């Protein structure tokens, strides 16, 4: 009997002082928003400001969820101290377009977003990144 793949795995990584989000496959809107809110709650609980978003295996973020990210989630997250995200580039063309579309609209003075080819590169950038931006 096969165990179904969990759509997301979100946890705090102490050594990195960051929240790690790992996404797999397609997340329906409810799952996407639930996982994203869990990331924010984890960030707040640990007083972290950085996130490693491994979305390489995520297939797509729907248009309504992209709009929710831009207009609702990201402003709230920034108010709670979200300052930097290192994203592992999606393999899916459609998700790559979605993620880049959202990132272009973010105020870079409030949230630093960098894209990487793998999680090791993303972790190295986060280790060097100061939440104060120095």
Residues 1-38 pLDDT 10s: 444 558 999 999 999 999 999 999 999 999 999 999 99
Q: If phi over 0 gives left and psi between -120 and 50 gives alpha, with beta otherwise, what is residue 63? A: alpha
pLDDT at 79 over 90: yes
Beta carbons of 78 and 66 less than 8 angstroms apart: no
Residue 116: what pLDDT?
A: 97
Give the residue extent of every domain in the chain.
Answer: 8-128
Side-chain half-sphere exposure of 31, counting CA atoms within 13 A:
16
Widest CA span of the chain, in angstroms?
50
Q: Which fold has domain 8-128?
A: Transcription Regulator spoIIAA (3.30.750)
**Pairing between strand 18-25 and 50-58?**
parallel
Structure tokens at 17: 């002082």
| Claim: this prediction has a pTM higher than 0.85 | yes
What's the distance, Cα to Cα, between the start and end of the chain in Å? 50
């Amino acid at each position: 009997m096969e165990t179904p793949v969990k759509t997301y795995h979100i946890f705090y990584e102490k050594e990195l002082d960051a929240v790690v989000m790992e996404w797999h496959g397609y997340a329906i809107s409810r799952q996407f928003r639930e996982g994203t809110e869990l990331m924010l709650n984890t960030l707040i609980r640990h007083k972290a400001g950085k996130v490693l978003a491994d979305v390489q295996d995520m297939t797509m973020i729907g248009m309504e969820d992209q709009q929710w990210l831009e207009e609702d989630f990201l402003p709230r997250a920034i108010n709670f101290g979200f300052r930097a995200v290192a994203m592992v580039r999606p393999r899916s063309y459609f998700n790559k377009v979605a993620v880049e579309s959202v990132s272009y609209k973010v105020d870079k003075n409030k949230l630093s977003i960098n894209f990487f080819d793998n999680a090791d590169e993303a972790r190295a950038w986060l280790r060097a990144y100061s939440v104060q931006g120095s």
